[in-house]
Amino acid sequence: MLVLGIESSCDETGVALVQWQDQAMPTLLSHALYSQIDMHQAFGGVVPELASRDHIRRVLPLTQEVLAESGRSLADVDVVAYTRGPGLAGALLVGAGVACALGAALDKPVLGVHHLEGHLLSPFLSADPPEFPFVALLVSGGHTQLMRVDGVGRYQLLGETIDDAAGEAFDKSAKLMGLGYPGGPALAKMAEQGDAKAYALPRPLLKSGNLDFSFAGLKTAVLVQAQRMVAADLAHSLGQQPSQVQPTGSSTAGFDALPRAQQCDLAASTQAAIVEVLVKKSMLALKHTGLQRLVVAGGVGANRALREQLNAACAKRAVRVHYPELHLCTDNGAMIAMAAAMRLQSGLQQAGKTYAFDVKPRWPLDSL
């Protein structure tokens, strides 16, 4: 069986081909990705209307690219899968519309896939795939969740963020530091040269005893700290006491003129606060469930400090930890084709020839 997968939920257009036979693990034949980050950067975040229009431009050329790369033609495709939600409505409609049009033209069935199920199952595309059951830490730009996963489609929510997602905490803190959009990777890069203990930042809900997260307060703490640093620097250059110079408003103007070491220290301290909460809550989820396997997925799963600290914490507890390949951590078509393949293979779902489509901008994973 050959599945064509199309991802268009946010600011990346991804297309991929995944193949499987009988009960063997599906394999990735080819995938292609176009990131709109450069286009949105000028606006400091994703502009939904621009995202939708760009998906329209990219999706068919990317489809031709993956077919050419794998030496297949559209006629070889058995199922067309697309991201049905969650995500930006207009962006989702592009992928859904194209997938259903292709399905109708080829007389092949289509299947709408849950974006987070794609992330969750993406480690099955790696050289060291996990086995069920496991605890999954889903950390993306829009979601931070801990799930108990007993099989394909068997997802139980253990805890989630009550406000911002971990990726948002990275991005919003990075924006305060003048690092552009999405700032997560840039902040992580600066953090590598900084001292993670330089500034004491809050670890929200760390000791709550439950598996929920809260990251909204962290960005305020980062803002206050950045303003203090700018004020202290100004006072120093004026020969005054830091208390004589008051930060104003919500601006962090002047942060980028601070000594680079100070900027890196704040980046490292911010990253450490986010990572510590993610690691401790993941360990608590393993303890609560009694499971010995952890799967990490979503864009923030690419973070090196997170991987190092999860690896160390898991090694201490003899827990196996699995990640997607680095290039498949952020949004891509491969995970959508893979999730469709695994749902079809498990018999959980069938692809249909009904080409009327809808999208689900909000769609809880445990409602699948």
Q: In whole angstroms, how far apart are CA 358 and each of 60, 111, 366?
A: 20, 11, 19
Interface with Zn ion (CB under 5 A): 140, 331
The site string for ligand KG4 over 127-166 (x = CB under 6 A, - otherwise) reads -------------xxx------------------------
Q: In what order do the strands lie in the sheet with 293-297?
A: 154-160, 144-151, 134-139, 293-297, 320-322
Tell which one of 95, 299, 324, 333 touches ligand KG4 (CB under 6 A): 299
Question: Which residue in this structure is represented by tokens 């993306």?
Answer: 140
State the binding partner of 184 from Zn ion, ligand KG4, none, CB within 5 to 8 A by kind: ligand KG4
**Closer residue to ligand KG4 in complex, CB, 94/188:** 188
Residue 29, Cα to own-chain centre: how many angstroms? Answer: 23
Q: Where are the alpha helices (DSSP H) in 204-351?
A: 216-238, 260-289, 304-316, 333-345
State the binding partner of 7 from Zn ion, ligand KG4, none, CB within 5 to 8 A by kind: none
Q: Quick check: 361 binds ligand KG4 (CB under 6 A)?
A: no
CB 190 within 8 A of CB 272: no
Whether residue 361 has a cis bond before it, omega within 30° of 0: no
How many residues bind to ligand KG4 according to rule CB under 6 A? 18
Q: Quick check: 330 binds ligand KG4 (CB under 6 A)?
A: yes
Q: Quick check: 298 binds ligand KG4 (CB under 6 A)?
A: yes
Q: What's the rounded Cα separation, in Å, for the pair 188 and 267?
A: 7
Q: Quick check: 296 binds ligand KG4 (CB under 6 A)?
A: no
**Closer residue to ligand KG4 in complex, CB, 72/304:** 304
Q: Quick check: 185 binds ligand KG4 (CB under 6 A)?
A: yes
Least distance from ligand KG4 to the Cβ atom of residue 175, Å: 10
At residue 230's C-alpha, the angle toward residues 227 and 235, to 5°, is 120
Q: Quick check: 14 binds ligand KG4 (CB under 6 A)?
A: no
State the binding partner of 342 from ligand KG4, Zn ion, none, CB within 5 to 8 A by kind: none
| Region of 129-137, 156-164, 182-190, 246-254 interacting with ligand KG4 (CB under 6 A) | 182-190
Q: What's the rounded Cα separation, in Å, for the pair 60 and 6?
A: 10
**Closer residue to ligand KG4 in complex, CB, 59/179:** 179
**Closer residue to ligand KG4 in complex, CB, 214/303:** 303
Q: Quick check: 123 binds ligand KG4 (CB under 6 A)?
A: no
Q: Quick check: 303 binds ligand KG4 (CB under 6 A)?
A: yes
Residue 181, Cα to own-chain centre: how many angstroms? Answer: 14
CB 285 within 8 A of CB 214: no
Least distance from ligand KG4 to the Cβ atom of residue 19, Å: 24
Strand 79-85 relative to strand 110-114, pairing: parallel
Least distance from Zn ion to the Cβ atom of residue 92, Å: 12
CB 158 within 8 A of CB 147: yes
CB 340 within 8 A of CB 3: yes
CB 137 within 8 A of CB 110: no
Least distance from Zn ion to the Cβ atom of residue 125, Å: 15
Least distance from ligand KG4 to the Cβ atom of residue 312, Å: 18
- Using CB under 6 A, list all residues that contact ligand KG4: 10, 140-142, 167, 170-171, 182, 184-185, 188, 298-300, 302-303, 330-331
